[in-house]
Amino acid sequence: AEWRLALWTLLSVLLPVLLTAWCSLQRSRRQLLIRDIFRKSRHDWSYTDLFGQPSYCCVCGEHILRGAFCGCCGLRAGECCLGRADQRFPCKETVGGTAGTSLQQHHWVRGNVPLCSCCAVCGQQCGTQPKLCDYRCAWCQCTVHDECMVDCLRTEECTFGEFRDLIIPPSYLSTINEMRKEKKTSYEKVVPYCRKHWMPVIILANTRSGNNMGETLLGEFKMLLNPVQIFDLSKIAPAKALQLCTLLPCNSVRVLVCGGDGTVGWVLDAIDEMKIKGQEQYIPQVAILPLGTGNDLSNTLGWGAGYAGEVPVEEILRNVMEADGVRLDRWKVQVTNKGYYNLRKQKVFTMNNYFSIGPDALMALNFHAHREKTPCLFSSRIINKAVYFFYGTKDCLIQECKDLNKKVELELDGERIELPSLEGIIVLNIGYWGGGCRLWEGMGGEPFPFARYDDGLLEVVGVHGSFHCAQIQVKLGNPVRLGQAHTVRLILKSSKMPMQVDGEPWAQGPCTVTITHKTHALMLYHSGEQSDDDASSLSE
């Protein structure tokens, strides 16, 4: 009886372990096969364990819970049918078509059409039946019932739909490639080069920014546009991606940067490199989809304080088309070390938003140190702000930046400014600071001119500490306004202090910081998100 009990006990332990091991082995084999198909495929496949909506396999027509979908054309297939789907159904072409013309046929994909769509022929709703039915064009996004699909529609020219002015047609790129082989550069003769209102857009997304929505956005934009217009900045540098501008009409390209203010600065630096290379005629205008933590530049330009998927990508593209062009001042921040520190290399930064020394720079420094140690924890905008709050509260008790006014000298346009008792100094180029706070205007009754981003002037303010920063952000206090200037010079006489430029912090010893105007950037302003304050500042 004892050996039977021992046998049953052994079996009860081993059986679940063996079953789990067998399932894991089968899953690993399945994933290897799927990965091999993905590697060789013309489609941009992504695997999912559970589709977010009722889905049907494009091969067998069966209802599927898990499988793969193409991020470019929208094709969906179950695991067993994935290989056949890849062979049977082509993906939409990124470069091709009839060279020298703008002709492009519809790319029809059967099944899994949006539920809110209507048939382009009869006007009735599509996708209402629980089976693989109806068609959707992967270019113009129009839908057609099975019974309404006729031969003429299969060969009909596609107009590219609502976003035709943003799409780069495959035939255009094919023609440009032929011209480059023949060493011709008269691209303006190419259709749709001469099309009125054509403003091709390039999407640059940082999949590591803020709330990690970049991956989802990349797929949604690829569905609506030509995938060749979409770039993942975690895989390709902005400077390389922006070379596409040189194949497009002069002064007409628009770039949508999906990321935080740091990503925007990265892209603007790459655009400055284009100017150095003599490519000024190809410089694009830049719009922002805010995915970062602070997003102060995005907020200043009317694109909002943060994006969390609340606006459909179609509306984002409409906003990019309707946005107005503006100029943004960019500043050179030169940090020259003193004494022993002078042996180190001089630091030079480009500033779009603000420079600061004191408690907010200390919070940024602690935040970045923590994020570098455990980057996996910082995948949410809420978590990021909570960490900033923790370090701000900690500094309220310790006051590491106390008596800053005794350690620094401030000069505005060559005139020395007498400093009151302060713990921090902030030099502003834009209206917003600290994740959405109007720092220069404050909440006082005194009439102060609005901070502008295109007037060649910097606004300089002081804060009394971390608690004072918190009071300003909840509109219970005002900063100390120190003045406006075209050139700012700050001398750190002693000790080591935290500094930051546009969220990039470091600990700095005795030095001289000089901020001078560098250049302008061509940006896009979205008037739909502006406040009354923004409207007033623009009209001045």
CATH fold, domain 104-161, is: Wheat Germ Agglutinin (Isolectin 2); domain 1 (3.30.60)
CA angle centred on 430, ends 449 and 410, rounded to 5°? 80
Q: For the chain, give me the number of helices (H) and strands (E)?
A: 13, 26
Buried b (16+ CB within 10 A) or exposed e, 413-446: eeeebebeebbbbbbbbbbbbbbebbbbbbeeee
| Cα–Cα distance measured from residue 245 to residue 285, given in angstroms and rounded to the nearest whole number | 11
Residue 204 token pair: 């640059």
C-alpha dihedral, 367 to 369 to 373 to 378, nearest 10°: 20
Domain boundaries, the chain: 32-92, 104-161, 164-322, 331-519
Q: Output the tens digit of pLDDT for each of the chain's 540 residues.
A: 678 788 888 888 888 888 888 878 777 777 776 777 777 888 988 888 888 888 999 999 999 998 899 989 999 998 888 888 988 999 988 887 655 555 788 999 999 998 888 999 999 998 888 888 899 999 999 999 988 888 778 778 888 999 999 999 988 888 888 888 877 777 766 766 656 788 999 999 998 876 668 888 998 999 999 999 999 999 999 999 999 999 888 888 999 999 988 899 999 999 999 999 999 999 999 999 998 877 899 999 999 988 888 899 999 999 999 999 999 999 999 999 886 655 667 889 999 999 999 888 888 887 767 666 666 655 566 666 666 566 556 555 566 778 888 999 999 999 999 999 998 999 999 988 887 788 887 645 555 667 889 999 999 999 887 778 777 777 777 888 899 999 999 999 888 899 999 988 999 989 999 999 999 999 999 987 444 344 444 444
| Topology agreement, domain 32-92 and domain 331-519 | no
CA angle 216, 283, 505 (to 5 degrees): 65
What is the distance between the alpha carbons of residues 205 and 217, in angstroms, rounded to a whole number?
8
CA 335 and chain centroid, separation: 29
pLDDT of residue 101: 55
Residues across the chain = 540
Q: Between 3.20.20.70, 3.90.1150.10, 3.40.710.10, 3.30.60.20, what CATH number should domain 32-92 receive?
A: 3.30.60.20
Q: Are 321 and 166 in contact (CB under 8 A)?
A: yes
Strand, helix or coil at 539?
Answer: helix
Residue 107: φ, ψ to 5°: -110, 95
Q: How far apart are CA 294 and CA 291, in angstroms?
A: 9
> Residue 388 corresponds to which amino acid?
Y
Per-residue tokens: 398: 């310790």
3-state secondary structure of 220: helix
Q: Using CA atoms, how far apart are residues 275 and 246, in angstroms rounded to an integer? A: 12
Give the H or E element holding residue 468: helix 466-473
Fold observed for domain 331-519: Tumour Suppressor Smad4 (2.60.200)
Structure-token pair, residue 92: 């939409």
Residue 266's contacts (CB-CB under 8 Å, 6 or more residues apart) are 233, 238
Residues in contact with 22: Cβ distance below 8 Å, sequence separation at least 6, in sequence order: none
Q: Which CATH architecture has domain 164-322?
A: 3-Layer(aba) Sandwich (3.40)
CA angle 374, 380, 382 (to 5 degrees): 115
The string of DSSP codes covering 196-212 is TT---EEEEE-TTSTT-
* Cis? peptide before 510, omega within 30° of 0: no
